[in-house]
Amino acid sequence: MPTLEEIRACFAGDRFAAEAAGAVIDLAEPGHAVCSMPIRPVHLNINGIPMGGAIFTLADFAFAVAVNGHSGRMTVTQQASVTFLSAARGKTLIAEAKCLKAGRTTCLYTVDVTDDLGTQVAHLTVNGYTLAPRPAGES
């Protein structure tokens, strides 16, 4: 079973989420992950609040870590539904992904996004599709 540091090293390859957006992995367990992202000026829309794309990026990253972090298979987002609940007012966004159902080729996860003040920012359901076993040599 990979360590948290090994999972972080693997997902550093997700350059958009990790480098551009600044998402970090706080917890990674089979079927469960918590990721966070400090809210920076680049994440803000014209209203001065985090834009939906920034929120979705963090949520999709948390899903990817939860579904792939401890798996020898490669699963991608097939469909996602997001409901934005409230504007984030804190300094950090936090996304928690949880597996509801995992099958041979599909899975269903929920991802809840809050801010560091406890505000419920968004709720997602994500259907994943398993493509194939992960190529040899990749964690």
pLDDT tens, position by position, 39-57: 999 999 999 999 999 999 9
Into how many domains does the chain fold? 1
In this structure, is residue 139 part of a structural domain? no
pLDDT per position as a tens digit, 98-126: 999 999 999 999 999 999 999 999 999 99
Q: Within 10 Å of residue 35's Cβ, how many Cβ atoms?
A: 29
* Domain assignment of residue 17, given as a range: 4-133
Q: What are residue 27's DSSP bridge partners?
A: 34
In this structure, is residue 25 part of a structural domain? yes
In this structure, is residue 21 part of a structural domain? yes
In this structure, is residue 138 part of a structural domain? no
pLDDT per position as a tens digit, 56-89: 999 999 999 999 999 988 999 999 999 999 999 9
Sheet containing strand 120-133, edge to edge, reads 24-29, 32-38, 92-102, 106-115, 120-133, 73-84
Banded pLDDT at 137 (limits 50, 70, 90)? low
Q: Phi, psi (5° rounding) for residue 11?
A: -80, -5
Report the CATH number that the domain containing residue 20 is assigned in CATH: 3.10.129.10
